Amino acid sequence: MDAIIDNKRIKYHKKTFENISVDKQKKVIETAVKHFAMYGYDATNINNIASDVGISIGSLYNYFASKEDLFLGVVNEGSLLLEKELSKIDETENILIFFEKILRLSKEFALNYPEFNQIYLNLTTQNLSHLSDKLCNKIEHITAEKYKKLINISKEKGYIRTKMSENEIAFCLDNLVMMLQFSFASNYYLERMRTFLGENVDIKDDSIIESIVSFAVNSLTKDIG
């Protein structure tokens, strides 16, 4: 099934999914989230999802045409949650203040929605490369344009002083956010953090965010020589 464009929002479910109760919709999505987070995309069995929801496999296919559409629907829900969290950030013209708020929001998102965070990490694996064109722009666009807009404003107002372009700065800042966020979902990234910061590092400690922000401030506020 092709994605349906409705009110500028891409939907991956069939119209029949909208005809069932909100509680049942929620149960389908929440169950799918748990399975995709636990087993990954390839190993997730859509029959098991239907069984855990308490519906037939035929009913599930009546709501979503394929496992891919169900997965895309799950990712869509995650991006909506992220947009909702981002909307809580107070407006600022200083990219450095915004960056700190994004770091703290990413930490809270990872702690409050660990399964979505795990799915986000799974999206970076090669076995989902066939979906990357559908997913990357959808997820990353949420923050990319905001970064670049604030970087240009911050340059004009003198909050940052650097020869780097807004695209380069946005890419570097977002990678710092991503590395922190993935440390909550992956033992590899957590051990990687411990390799650099020490075995006793506490990932929930605010000092990690403070150090990352300090690094960004020092990197972007140097006088241009």
d(CA 162, CA 88): 29
Q: pLDDT averaged over the chain? A: 88
At residue 133, the pLDDT reads 67
pLDDT at residue 83 above 90?
no
Integer CA distances (angstroms), 34 to 31, 44, 185, in order: 5, 10, 14
Which pTM was predicted? Answer: 0.84
If phi over 0 gives left and psi between -120 and 50 gives alpha, with beta otherwise, what is residue 198?
left
At residue 84, the pLDDT reads 85
Residue pair 134/69 in contact by the 8 Å Cβ criterion? no
Q: What is the pLDDT of residues 88-120, one digit of tens each?
A: 888 899 999 999 999 999 999 999 999 999 998
Task: Taking the CA atoms of 167, 125, 206 and 102 in sequence, report the sign of the dihedral they define.
Answer: positive
The CATH code belonging to domain 4-72 is: 1.10.10.60
Residue pair 106/85 in contact by the 8 Å Cβ criterion? no
Helices then strands, each counted (H, E), the chain? 10, 2
Three-state secondary structure call for residue 14 = coil
At residue 104, the pLDDT reads 95
Kindly report the number of other CB atoms within 10 A of residue 148's CB atom.
Answer: 17
d(CA 191, CA 56): 42
Q: What is the pLDDT of residues 185-223, one digit of tens each?
A: 989 999 999 999 999 888 889 999 999 999 999 999 975
Q: What is the pLDDT of residues 133-150, one digit of tens each?
A: 667 666 677 788 889 999
